[in-house]
Amino acid sequence: MALYITCKTLPFCPSPPATSPLKSRVSTIRCSVSLSSEDVALGFGERPWKTADARLVLEDGSIWRAKSFGASGTQVGEVVFNTSMTGYQEILTDPSYAGQFVLMTNPHIGNTGINPEDEESNQCFLGGLVIRSLSLCTSNWRCTKPLADYLAERNIMGIYDVDTRAITRRLRQDGSLIGVLSTEDSKTDDELLEMSRRWKIVGVDLISGVSCEAPYEWSEKTNSEWEFNKDVISGEKFHVVAYDFGTKHNILRRLASCGCRITVVPSKWPASETLKMQPDGVLFSNGPGDPAAVPYAVETVKEIIGKVPVFGICMGHQLIGQALGGKTFKMKFGHHGGNHPVGNLRNGCVEISAQNHNYAVDPASLPPGVEVTHVNLNDNSCAGLACPERKLMSLQYHPESSPGPHDSDPAFREFIQLMKDAKQNA
């Protein structure tokens, strides 16, 4: 059947002449509606919207009904909230989110679609995406496909039309919670709850599942269109060995833009093989999970620090803390987002940073001679370390900050200077 709607509209005119009366425009819109005999009898039409077909069951017993997009099935993960306003594609492809469901506090997600240039790794490692409102259209000249299609291709589950604000308040109050995402009606709420309470993420080695399998050379620089710092370093090149604990592409691009030749090696690459390469410096990258669950990585860091300049980022920072004799601990709900204020204790400046971690270094456990250089101004947790005697520096957050902010990009130049000084003093 056809439904006709007649509308009367007035043309826009901010200040029409008094002698020229406004003329209204009448238009008729034809809508095709398919109705069953029962719907017609009841006076209802078909629902043109998706109904709830998914559940998020948290280990605290709460059940959240939602609508699914992307992949279907059942998945377990740790639920964390991310406060970034933009950059969901970079978040989806950040290996540091392995084993986690990312809940975006920004309510509107999907409006910029997906494009191949913004990926931080070759695949998605997170368990699922939880959002409030899924954009039905995209508005971005770089877009090649919508978010829902992208997640379906990558076999990643997503849910929307769920109260993300209420879940975020719960996570802030109770801490990160294990949850189960499911689109399967055959599984009861009690079965999903039992799955969430059996699954563990603490003490699990998540790095091995995201690291490269063999060494490779990286030479790609930051694209000139997105090079926000035109004062790139040229001239002398430094060879950097980058341990891939789950590294992001833009960390490597920033180092390459600073004039580094980069060899990326797997997480279990022996320290002795690295030292045989005689690198000018070593990068210990970001990565997922519990640093205490990867003692082999800690031993590698121990064997390298003091011999060549090192730079640790996120997981690399935590591994350096442990290698120096310090301890790490699991935070209540971690830091995830692109708007965390960090105090640089050396110059007194405040940097707005991008962060993604659930663990932190306990500064009270560090030995003498190790300097805390940065603190998170939200909770005063340790956000940076330095030890000039051992030629090391580390940051708990992401100085490459893709898609932003870029306040901490000078850290890469500090690492270059560290290698330059070590070379001159050799």
Catalytic residues: 314, 398, 400
State which H helix or E strand residue 153 sits in. Answer: helix 147-153
Contact by Cβ (8 Å): 252, 262: yes
Question: How far is the CA of 237 from the CAs of 9, 240, 308, in angstroms?
Answer: 67, 10, 16
Angle at 36 between CA 35 and CA 38, to 5 degrees: 125
Q: Cα–Cα distance between 54 and 158 in angstroms, integer?
A: 9
Partnered with residue 356 across adjacent β-strands are 336
CA atoms within 13 Å, Cβ hemisphere of 4: 4
- Start-to-end C-alpha separation, the chain: 85
For every residue of 65-93, DSSP letters joined together read EEEEEEB-SEEEEEEEEE--SS-HHHHHT
Q: Which among 239, 217, 235 has a CA at the least distance from the CA of 423?
A: 239
Which residue from 138, 173, 134 is spatially nearest to 54, judged by alpha carbons?
134
Classify the phi-psi angles of 175: left when phi > 0, otherwise alpha if psi is within -120 to 50, otherwise beta.
Answer: left
In terms of C-beta density within 10 A (0-12 exposed, 13-18 middle, 19 or more buried), how is residue 37 classed?
A: exposed
Q: Name the residue among 363, 367, 364 with its Cα closest to residue 396.
A: 363
Question: With contact defined as beta carbons under 8 Å apart, do 122 and 94 qualify?
Answer: no
Whether the Cβ atoms of residue 140 and residue 109 lie closer than 8 Å to each other:
no
CA dist., res. 340 & res. 396, Å (int): 11
Assign 3-class secondary structure to 114-176. ECHHHCCCCCCCCCEEECCEECCCCCCCCCCECHHHHHHHCCCEEEECCCHHHHHHHHHHHCC
Residue 77 contacts residue 58 (beta carbons within 8 Å): no
The single residue listed with the structure tokens 């039905």 is 136
Structure tokens at 199: 């699954």
Q: Which residues pair with 69 in a beta bridge?
A: 158
Task: Enumerate the β-bridge partners of residue 242.
Answer: 264, 283
